[in-house]
Amino acid sequence: MIRTNDDTIAAESERKFHEMIQRSDFPCVGAKSALAQGSLSIVQARNIQSAWNDLQIHRDLLVWSEKWRDDPEGLRSLVIIFEGPLDLDEGQFEAAMWERLQSLADKDHWLGQRLDRTVSADPDDPHFSLSFGGEAYFAVGLHPNASRPARRFARPAIVFNLHSQFERLREEGRFERMRERIMARDIELAGTPNPMLADHGTGSSARQYSGRAVGPEWSCPFRDPRA
């Protein structure tokens, strides 16, 4: 789905995203699996600091949630790649990312979509997740100026992953092994452990979304209107 002013930019962004995931040193084996299975979808948008594409992005999330309920197998990711801006520092990207997530949650509420009650809507809760179309998600931010190599991409992007797919892996006893592989590969790529990765249930995953290292005083700017 192309929603930019320049189809060339859109095609190049998609190609570069695929190339990033296919690199031998890219740590996220889940993304590699989703791409290999054809279950990684890329949506092109304009400016991450603008609400220009928010309605359509939200519609894509509703469709993605419905597809998961119809066929809850494998790993899948919905990737929103924005044209820019390309010069955001980590703080600016974090603010823009949470603005988009807040806008999407507000639209979910406005359209009467239910919360996924298997998770918490409180961003300070260790079991927090976003909720769109009745399904829980967590988000991964990428941008050109990310300090962690695994979060560095040519354009600002938000990757939406369904919470349920990883709970299924956990029930099957495969989640921890995959997580350990990702962490080991990330250390190999960056040279240091990611300080923001917390064990499930010990801290809110909201602290990890943007990729910026934050301290204990950090307060999440997001509030779900249905919480």
Looking at the chain, the whole-number percentage of residues with pLDDT higher than 90 is 78
**Strands 135-142 vs 157-162: parallel, antiparallel or unpaired:** antiparallel
pLDDT in the model for residue 4: 45
Question: Considering the entire predicted model, what is its pTM?
Answer: 0.93
DSSP code for 152: B
- Indicate the residue type of 48: I
Does the pLDDT of residue 2 top 50, yes or no? no
Find tokens 């939406």 and name the residue: 160
**Is residue 3 predicted with pLDDT exceeding 80?**
no
* CB atoms near residue 214 (< 10 Å): 17
pLDDT in tens, 182-213: 999 999 999 998 887 755 456 789 999 999 99
Residue 169 burial (C-beta neighbours within 10 Å; 0-12, 13-18, 19+): middle
| Domain ranges for the chain | 7-208
Question: Residue 158's beta-bridge partner residues?
Answer: 80, 141
Q: Is 135 helix (H, G, I), strand (E, B) or coil?
A: strand
Per-residue pLDDT for 157 more than 70?
yes
Determine how β-strand 157-162 pairs with β-strand 77-84. Answer: antiparallel
Predicted confidence (pLDDT) at residue 85 exceeds the cutoff of 70: yes
